[in-house]
Amino acid sequence: MYLFSMASLSEEVLLVVKKVRQRKQDGTLYLMAERIAWGPEGKDRFTVSHLYADIRCQKISPDGKAKIQLQLILHTGESTTFHFSNESSALKDRDAAKELLQQLLPKFKKKANKELEEKNRMLQEDPVLFQLYKDLVVSQVISADEFWANRLGDMNNSDPTPYNNKQDVGISGAFLADIRPQTDGCNGLRYNLTADIIESIFRTYPAVKQKYGENVPHNLTEKEFWTRFFQSHYFHRDRINTGTQDIFSECAKQDEKGLKSMVVQGVKNPLVDLLSLEDKTLDEGYGVSTTTPSTSNANRTVKESSNAAIIKRFNHHSAMVLAAGSRKGQAAQMGTRGILTSSSLLLNPFFSLAIEYEDLQRENRLKTVALNLKKSDRYAHGPVPLQSQHYTTSQDIINSVNHIRHEMVNYKPNLTQVLSSTAASSAITALSPGGVLMMTGTQQAINQMIPTEVQGELKHLYAAAGELLRHFWSCFPVNSPFLEEKVMKMKTNLERFQMTKLCPFQEKIQRQYLSTNLTGHLEEMLQTAYSKFHVWQTRRMLRKT
Amino acid sequence: FSAEDEINLLVIVVDVNPIWWGQQAQREPELTLSKCLDAVMVLGNSHMAMTRTNKLAVIASHCQDSHFLYPNKNWRGGDNGGEDASSSGDGKYELLSVANNLIAEEIRNVMTKKVEGRQTFLLSSLIMLSNWHGVSYRYLLMLPFLFSVGQEIKSRILVVKAAEDCARQYMNFMNVIFAAQKQNILIDACVLDSDSGLLQQACDITGGLYLKIPQKIALAQYLLWVFLPDSEQRSQLVLPPPAHVDYRAACFCHRNLIEIGYVCSVCLSIFCNFSPICTTCETAFKIQLPQMVKPKKKKLKQST
């Protein structure tokens, strides 16, 4: 907060509210053009002053509460609360202040820094990155700029994110049906029109829009126009054209013309043959009667003509909806009214997908190079190293074979003398827990001896050290002053990391888990980096002298 | 489907390499081939005695080939066992005495028949463990058809190994290991003398137990303690933990076991040192060498 003399106010004051308490002190609230301020009673300076740009949002106390309050929350997280204490008009005052703020705040809202948002998003989405950030930047091992240096690189070059592109909202085919009139009790109907429905009607039926433009607001009010619209036969199912009193009868005529022209134009899509569709009759009851319906009005029965009229209306409505949807963007590409013209067909990838079948075409094999193995017996040998062969003379072999033959020629199993008890008990000892053969088990359990939190910490250390080392090693070869500076900075960063993170961790595990050496490899990596730095530094000194 | 209906088959493959055993008989007479076979027989009998539906097969693996000791062509099986068996007179379960007699008879035949000259007298003692794997595997594949339809057979192989490995059968061996793994057939190994890398891998991949026994004379005890329980029972027992298996590859040029090496991207052969041309497939490779820094020429001051 800063002190501001009221006498030197050059800003316009929009609202003054007396009897507003802040921090249990009576005072007056001032809403000005660019800031909101509060001064204690009797003093002539402001003790609280906030620019609208700094305010993130406002909050009000709920209606039932005795204390009527307004709270301002700043971007920094701080908040200020004002208590409206005028017995008669506290609620009115508070609401007046709130309304004014509601109008003013959006104007000054700081456009959230896009980069900041992106960074926050990245940190939230990737917990590993977040941990790395905490380990390195928050504990001030490296600066935030260095941390983000490599990561935000593509952000400025790429196109704005796809979710900025807005898609046009289409028209629901049932928008007219959705209006759903309700009876209002005395033989009338209530139609609920929303702005969306009105827009749909205008987009689908440009004739209606034209009429609207002509008649409203000169001749009719909006309400009257829509009332007439719903009353006219134009809207209803049976469009029997009554007298020309109806302003919409022209629309009906226009629609007829439009429909005729659409039929004449036809659909120029070679994959669709609309003309071959017709009602086929199998027998009585399985379709339309045998006489083909004539188009002249005289021969039609009343029912037939009303059916035909409804069908015509449905078709027209659907065609208008589709036309309205495709009118906006794609008219240029696809020809009028979304119909594929023959010239655009060949370019359309979907067309080629529809008429071509991969497996029916001639196979285009990629030219390959045959594998040419000169010494393929190497594979058969396998990873068994040639062992030292101990030499046996042929005489030895003959002797052994004869001996065995001699032994086995009279072999009789002697199953009662297979095992002596001493041999058995020594074997059992070797096989019991703690015996000779059971010892290898304990060596494998290092990940069971160290608790998971320590393992987790070790993982974080590795991630942080890896990041720092990556920055360090990427500086080599050092061939610019920027890299020189960076490599020296990274070395100090590494040393700082070792001191602040690695050594305490080592001490901790030494206190608790004596024998295991968990950080040996990390130290080795750091040592390698230090020695490389040392070598580079001495070389640099030599070059200079 | 009770456990009684399930057939557990144990196939014991015994390495009866005569050269090794002959030498062994002279080195350490406490464990001779006879004693070894006795121990194997004890294990076989115990296995069959555990459950009525347990089955046994014993294969002797000789220098160049292997033989079924049990069941063999003399085994008529079923009810005829009683007639053929010379009764042992000790009230033994007939199936066991039949089996023992058959095994004994067959091994006598195997070990005493004249061995082909050119095959046996090799100068090195690297006699391979012959086709034991091929035979036993084929046997195992036939099994579902030997027994009635609907019976599940769980099988495992126990290899009792005496002599050293031979590297020549490596590819076949690995194929058999993977096939066994797919068929859920355990391969166990009881090694008497020198460690076998191939068997270690086999046990590791199929989930079996590898054990090199410290005392040969107590072979029977080790067999009963470690290799008699089947895989389900083993989970309830405290048995020797699996050994660390060396899966390092050997380089193609020297056959050294290496941890870091170079692999040709065309033929996948492994080398310990970089060479610009792969010797197996003759593909040439280019590697970017670090750029040489040209030394700056110093201007020489000319003296006038």
Nearest to A523 by CA among A543, A545, A495: A495
Interface contact flag, A397 B120, Cβ < 8 Å = yes
pLDDT digits (tens, 9 = 90+) for A393-429: 788 888 888 888 888 888 888 888 888 899 999 999 8
Interface contact flag, B225 A427, Cβ < 8 Å = yes
HEC states along B203-236? Answer: HHHHCCCEEECCCHHHHHHHHHHHHCCCHHHHCC
Interface contact flag, B249 A383, Cβ < 8 Å = yes
Token pair recorded at residue B270: 């492994």
Any idea what the CATH number is for the domain that residue B141 is in? 3.40.50.410
Token pair recorded at residue B106: 């067959």
Could you say which DSSP state residue A540 is in? H
- Torsion on CA atoms A277, A279, A280, A286, rounded to nearest 10: 140
pLDDT-based confidence at B124, cuts 50/70/90?
Answer: very low
Q: Does A438 touch chain B (CB under 8 A)?
A: yes
Output the CA–CA distances (angstroms, integers) from residue A284 to A277, A302, B101, in the order listed.
20, 21, 90
User: From CA A540, how far away is CA A451, in angstroms rounded?
Assistant: 46
pLDDT-based confidence at B127, cuts 50/70/90?
Answer: very low
Interface contact flag, A426 B111, Cβ < 8 Å = no
CATH annotation of A13-116: 2.30.29.30
Name residue, tokens 């609360």.
Answer: A81
Q: How far is A523 from chain B (nearest CA, A)?
A: 22
Q: Does A479 touch chain B (CB under 8 A)?
A: no
User: From CA B266, how far away is CA B260, in angstroms rounded?
Assistant: 18
Name residue, tokens 């759903």.
Answer: A180
Q: How far is A112 from chain B (nearest CA, A)?
A: 47
pLDDT for the residue A545 = 74
- Is residue B183 domain-shared with residue B219, that is, in the same domain? yes
User: From CA B149, how far away is CA B7, in angstroms rounded?
Assistant: 12
Q: Which of A376, A408, A418 comes nearest B111 by C-beta?
A: A408
Residue partners of A297: CB distance under 8 A and separation at least 6 = A305
pLDDT for the residue A246 = 65
Residue B166 and residue B124 in contact, taking contact as beta carbons nearer than 8 Å:
no
User: From CA A491, how far away is CA A486, in angstroms rounded?
Assistant: 9
3-state secondary structure of A81: strand
Interface contact flag, B215 A427, Cβ < 8 Å = yes
Question: Measured in Å, how far apart are chain A's first and last C-alpha atoms?
Answer: 57
Interface contact flag, B222 A372, Cβ < 8 Å = no
Nearest CA in chain A to B62: A401
Chosen from B33, B34, B263, B296 to mutate, greatest number of chain A CBs within 10 A: B34
Interface contact flag, A407 B25, Cβ < 8 Å = yes
Interface contact flag, A407 B174, Cβ < 8 Å = no
The answer to the question of residue B294 being in a domain is no
Could you say which DSSP state residue A178 is in? G
Interface contact flag, B104 A392, Cβ < 8 Å = no
Q: Does A163 touch chain B (CB under 8 A)?
A: no
Q: Which of A373, A409, A414 comes nearest B108 by C-beta?
A: A409
- Is residue B200 domain-shared with residue B257, that is, in the same domain? no
Query: Got the DSSP string for A211-268?
Result: HHHHHTTTTS-HHHHHHHHHHSTTTSS------TTSTTHHHHHHHHHHHHHHHHH---
The answer to the question of residue B297 being in a domain is no
Interface contact flag, A375 B280, Cβ < 8 Å = yes
- Is residue B253 domain-shared with residue B190, that is, in the same domain? no
Interface contact flag, B238 A405, Cβ < 8 Å = no
Q: Does A542 touch chain B (CB under 8 A)?
A: no
A:444-463 residues touching chain B, CB 8 A cutoff: 444
Interface contact flag, A407 B282, Cβ < 8 Å = no
User: From CA B54, how far away is CA B154, in angstroms rounded?
Assistant: 10
- Is residue B21 domain-shared with residue B59, that is, in the same domain? yes
User: From CA B246, how far away is CA B256, in angstroms rounded?
Assistant: 13
Q: How far is A510 from chain B (nearest CA, A)?
A: 28
pLDDT digits (tens, 9 = 90+) for A249-301: 777 777 778 878 877 777 666 667 777 777 666 666 666 555 555 555 555 57
A chain contacts of residue B215, beta-carbon cutoff 8 Å: 423, 426-427, 430
- Is residue B103 domain-shared with residue B20, that is, in the same domain? yes
Return the sign of the alpha-carbon dihedral for residues B81, B85, B90, B95. negative
A chain contacts of residue B104, beta-carbon cutoff 8 Å: 411-413
Nearest CA in chain A to B126: A389
Is the omega angle on the peptide bond into residue B71 within 30 degrees of 0, that is, cis? yes
Interface contact flag, B112 A441, Cβ < 8 Å = no
The answer to the question of residue B138 being in a domain is yes
User: From CA B34, how far away is CA B88, in angstroms rounded?
Assistant: 19
Checking if the pLDDT of B81 tops 60, the result is: no
Residue B165 and residue B196 in contact, taking contact as beta carbons nearer than 8 Å:
yes
Q: Does A421 touch chain B (CB under 8 A)?
A: no
Q: Does A418 touch chain B (CB under 8 A)?
A: yes
The answer to the question of residue B218 being in a domain is yes
User: From CA A421, how far away is CA A443, in angstroms rounded?
Assistant: 32
Interface contact flag, A411 B104, Cβ < 8 Å = yes
Q: How far is B241 from chain A (nearest CA, A)?
A: 6
Question: What are all long-range contacts of A255-259, with beta carbons under 8 Å and residues at least 24 apart?
Answer: A255/A205, A255/A207, A255/A316, A258/A316, A258/A320, A259/A312, A259/A315, A259/A316, A259/A319
Interface contact flag, A389 B170, Cβ < 8 Å = no
Name residue, tokens 């099988």.
Answer: B155
Q: How far is A426 from chain B (nearest CA, A)?
A: 8
User: From CA A377, how far away is CA A374, in angstroms rounded?
Assistant: 9
User: Strand B153-161 relative to strand B186-191: parallel, antiparallel, unpaired?
Assistant: parallel
Over chain A (545 residues), the average pLDDT of each successive run of 10 is: 47 85 88 86 84 82 83 85 86 86 76 69 84 77 73 50 58 74 70 76 80 77 78 62 60 79 73 70 62 53 77 82 67 43 59 73 75 78 58 80 86 86 90 78 62 86 91 87 88 89 85 74 92 91 84
User: From CA A9, how far away is CA A4, in angstroms rounded?
Assistant: 8
Query: Between vectors from CA A316 to CA A315 and to CA A317, what angle results, nearest 5°?
Result: 95
- Phi, psi (5° rounding) for residue B211? -140, 125
Domain tally, chain B: 2
pLDDT for the residue A527 = 93
A chain contacts of residue B100, beta-carbon cutoff 8 Å: 413, 415
Query: Between vectors from CA B237 to CA B231 and to CA B238, what angle results, nearest 5°?
Result: 120
Nearest CA in chain A to B127: A389
Interface contact flag, A418 B280, Cβ < 8 Å = no
User: From CA A129, how far away is CA A346, in angstroms rounded?
Assistant: 49
Instruction: Look up the domain containing B29 and give its range.
Output: 7-74+93-235
Chosen from A388, A392, A440 to mutate, greatest number of chain B CBs within 10 A: A392
Q: How far is A368 from chain B (nearest CA, A)?
A: 13
Helix (H) / strand (E) element for B302: namely none
3-state secondary structure of B176: helix
3-state secondary structure of A499: helix
Nearest to A233 by CA among A212, A249, A244, A211: A249
Could you say which DSSP state residue B192 is in? S
- Is residue B104 domain-shared with residue B179, that is, in the same domain? yes
pLDDT for the residue B226 = 93
Name residue, tokens 């740009």.
Answer: A53
Residue B211 and residue B191 in contact, taking contact as beta carbons nearer than 8 Å:
yes
- Average pLDDT of the segment spanning B185-208: 88
User: From CA B129, how far away is CA B61, in angstroms rounded?
Assistant: 7
Token pair recorded at residue B108: 């006598």
CA A483 to chain centre: 37
pLDDT for the residue A302 = 73
Helix (H) / strand (E) element for A365: namely none
Name residue, tokens 């009332």.
Answer: A227
- Torsion on CA atoms B184, B185, B186, B192, rounded to nearest 10: -160
A chain contacts of residue B67, beta-carbon cutoff 8 Å: none
Nearest CA in chain B to A393: B123
B chain contacts of residue A428, beta-carbon cutoff 8 Å: 221, 225
- Is residue B18 domain-shared with residue B42, that is, in the same domain? yes
pLDDT for the residue A335 = 41
The answer to the question of residue B85 being in a domain is no
Residue A388 and residue B187 in contact, taking contact as beta carbons nearer than 8 Å:
no
How many percent of chain B have pLDDT more than 90? 14
Interface contact flag, B19 A389, Cβ < 8 Å = no
Q: Which of A396, A401, A413 comes nearest B38 by C-beta?
A: A413
Q: Which residues pair with A182 in a beta bridge?
A: A190
User: From CA A31, how far away is CA A15, in angstroms rounded?
Assistant: 5
A chain contacts of residue B111, beta-carbon cutoff 8 Å: 404-405, 408-409, 411
Output the CA–CA distances (angstroms, integers) from residue B130 to B67, B119, B191, in the order listed.
11, 12, 16
Q: Does A403 touch chain B (CB under 8 A)?
A: yes
CA A324 to chain centre: 31
The answer to the question of residue B111 being in a domain is yes
Q: Does A16 touch chain B (CB under 8 A)?
A: no
- Is residue B107 domain-shared with residue B142, that is, in the same domain? yes
Interface contact flag, B35 A430, Cβ < 8 Å = no
3-state secondary structure of B6: coil
CB pairs under 8 A between A and B: 186
